[in-house]
Amino acid sequence: MAPPEAVPQAPEAAVPTASAVLEARSVSKRFPGVVALDDVSFSLRAGETHALVGENGAGKSTLIKVLTGVYRPDGGELRMTGEPVRFARPFEAQQAGISTIYQEVNLVPLMSVARNIFLGREPRNRFGLIDFGRMHRETAELLDGFGVRVDPRRPLHTLGIGTQQMVALARAVSVNAQVVIMDEPTSSLEPREVETLFRVIERLRGQGIAVLYVSHRMDELYRICDRVTVLRDGRHIHTGDLADLDRMQLVSMMLGRDLSEVRRSGVTNFAAEGHEAARTPVLTATGLSSRLQLHDISVSLYAGEVLGLGGLLGSGRSETAKALSGALPLDAGELTVDGTTLKRLTPAAAIRAGISLLPEDRKAEGIVPGLSVRENIVLAAMPRLSRAGVVSRAKQDRIVDIFMKRLRIKASSPEQKVGELSGGNQQKVLLARWLCLEPKVLLLDEPTRGIDVGAKAEVQSLIDDLAREGLAVLLISSDIEELIEGADRIVVLRGGAVAGELSGDDVAEDRLLEVLADHAPEPDRDPAAQEDPR
């Protein structure tokens, strides 16, 4: 299907302006077998918040790495305030006034807040020693400007993720930044922390600092961004005022096709399709308890259904998935799969029983970045692909080819290292790894977190297809809309226990919000944020 007429069919030039604080002019970057950036032009004005969007693999991360000196461009040039610049390493970009805040907090956990902010540029006294008093005072003043009161001497790892993100932002601004690049800054923040971040961004704009904001969350983009640049397949597609585009136009630009091509055709009506009568659960968990984490969790999961698992942060969603997959030791409870009770619940036993888990943190618990796409996909299936200790390469290639096509994994070849892929494609590789085992139960923990709109729609469509084929799917998500659209039933957790269950007509946003509100703990401040060192 051709893209709608509202979608530009040819890339639009990003016109450099006299007010641009940072420009990329006809920038190209190539890797073996892949053109990551192809003649990309882009400009960022002082005092604006500029959205950078595109599907995973569009070139966003590569462009950021070129702007920050991680990569050297193979063609084109960078300019700051009209003057050509070349960065051989990130430190040079930072010295020029470009700071970056990454999706995962890129600081030193065991060091204090103050040491993290001033790392590498600590104030010194007349004897050449670190002036800790001055460093602590300046840290407190800096953080106070962001609405955060925390003891500068406190180790970073003892703070909440939201407070750590504010520390990272304070460090970025403290180096006299002209440009602050934010890569998915709200992915791990709670709503109140997001509001604090947005207030800080407004303050930065008022100071004339340019903010490049990378996010797949449309609500955020339309709330805080002035202009938008769209990348697709390494090419510049559009730069313009965000207010001039509606969401469908923006998403269609990102995809290069009408969103309806990949949108789900409709959620399975589990009861209406005749599954309700005479059905038996594929998986039954009874009284699962783990000290201080889970308390008497009981759930049933049926073939052909998507069971949503919702709850606020700290409710026990991920812990439940780990318990069902044997990754969390239990003090009590039992798990039955297809009528057989697992006597000793371990990850290996769960896999043998047909349970597969896609973990929340794909980088720490999923992919092996140094291995190829092929090796990552077949990793869990190696025993099945071997005979007398010899692994069949032909079988590997056949399986990998099937799943790369089915999941539309974008890679130069099956031998490309998975660490070089975009986040969305890494997630698809993990899905392929577990699907090639032909599981009975698929546990998906935040399967669409941190991936763009196009990849998200593809993953949601795949989940729907798998359920229609008879797979039992547990969908864990902090995205209320995703749960409502994707689940047949929803179990809501609070404090490691089941707080309620929604089914049938009750699977609706207002009902889910009611259950969450009824069982939500009273809002409390991060203890770290209450401390006043002065």
User: What mean pLDDT do residues 389-413 have?
Assistant: 89
Residues near 22 by Cβ (< 8 Å), separated by ≥ 6?
43, 44, 67, 78, 79, 80, 98, 178, 179, 210
Cβ atoms 194, 161 nearer than 8 A: no
pLDDT tens across 264-321, in order?
Answer: 433 444 444 444 433 689 999 999 999 878 999 999 999 999 999 988 766 888 899 9
Q: What is the pLDDT at residue 488?
A: 93
pLDDT, greater one: 361 or 203: 203
Strand 355-358, strand 340-341: pairing: unpaired
Q: Most confidently modeled of 249-253, 334-338, 419-423?
A: 334-338
User: What mean pLDDT do residues 144-160 have?
Assistant: 86
Q: What is the pLDDT at residue 23?
A: 95
Geometric angle at alpha carbon 472, from 469 and 477, rounded to 5°:
115
| The pLDDT of residue 523 is above 60 | no
Any idea how long the chain is? 534
Q: How confident is the model at residue 241 (pLDDT cuts 50, 70, 90)?
A: very high
Domains of the chain, with CATH numbers?
A: 1-96+224-258 (3.40.50.300), 268-354+439-519 (3.40.50.300), 366-438 (no CATH)
| The pLDDT of residue 375 is above 70 | yes
Q: Residue 431 and residue 409: Cα distance in Å, rounded? A: 10
Q: What is the pLDDT at residue 196?
A: 83
| The pLDDT of residue 14 is above 70 | no
User: What mean pLDDT do residues 513-529 have?
Assistant: 51
Strand 489-494, strand 497-503: pairing: antiparallel
| The pLDDT of residue 70 is above 50 | yes
| The pLDDT of residue 171 is above 50 | yes
Q: What is the pLDDT at residue 302?
A: 95
Q: Residue 480 and residue 523: Cα distance in Å, rounded? A: 19
| The pLDDT of residue 261 is above 60 | no
| The pLDDT of residue 398 is above 50 | yes
Cβ atoms 79, 255 nearer than 8 A: no
Q: How confident is the model at residue 450 (pLDDT cuts 50, 70, 90)?
A: confident
Q: What is the pLDDT at residue 85?
A: 95
Three-class DSSP category at 348: helix
Q: What torsion do the CA atoms of 184, 190, 191, 195 make, to the nearest 10 degrees?
A: -60
Lowest mean pLDDT among 33-42, 220-229, 444-453: 444-453
| The pLDDT of residue 389 is above 90 | no
Tokens of 181: 């690049």
Q: What is the pLDDT at residue 132?
A: 93
| The pLDDT of residue 263 is above 60 | no
Q: List the one residue out of 326, 330, 316, 324 whose CA is nearest residue 284.
A: 324
| The pLDDT of residue 533 is above 70 | no
Lowest mean pLDDT among 58-67, 219-228, 420-429: 420-429
Q: What is the pLDDT at residue 267?
A: 40
Q: What is the pLDDT at residue 316?
A: 87
Exposure string of 261-292, with b = 16+ CB inside 10 Å and e = fewer, is: ebebeebbebeeeebeeeeebbbbbeebbbee
Question: What's the mean pLDDT when you consider all of the chain?
Answer: 84
| The pLDDT of residue 422 is above 90 | no
Residues near 152 by Cβ (< 8 Å), separated by ≥ 6?
112, 113, 114, 135, 136, 139, 140, 143, 533
Tokens of 43: 């400009």
Q: How confident is the model at residue 530 (pLDDT cuts 50, 70, 90)?
A: very low
pLDDT tens across 228-237, in order?
Answer: 999 998 999 9
Q: Percent of the chain scored above 70 by pLDDT?
A: 87
Q: How confident is the model at residue 507 (pLDDT cuts 50, 70, 90)?
A: confident
Q: What is the pLDDT at residue 265?
A: 38
| The pLDDT of residue 5 is above 50 | no
Q: What is the pLDDT at residue 257?
A: 61
| The pLDDT of residue 251 is above 80 | no
| The pLDDT of residue 390 is above 90 | no
φ/ψ of residue 13, rounded to 5: -70, 135
Q: Residue 54 and residue 43: Cα distance in Å, rounded? A: 16
Q: Where are the beta strands (DSSP E) in 302-347?
A: 306-311, 332-337, 340-341
Q: Cite the DSSP H helix spans in 33-112.
A: 60-67, 90-95
User: What mean pLDDT do residues 167-189 have?
Assistant: 85
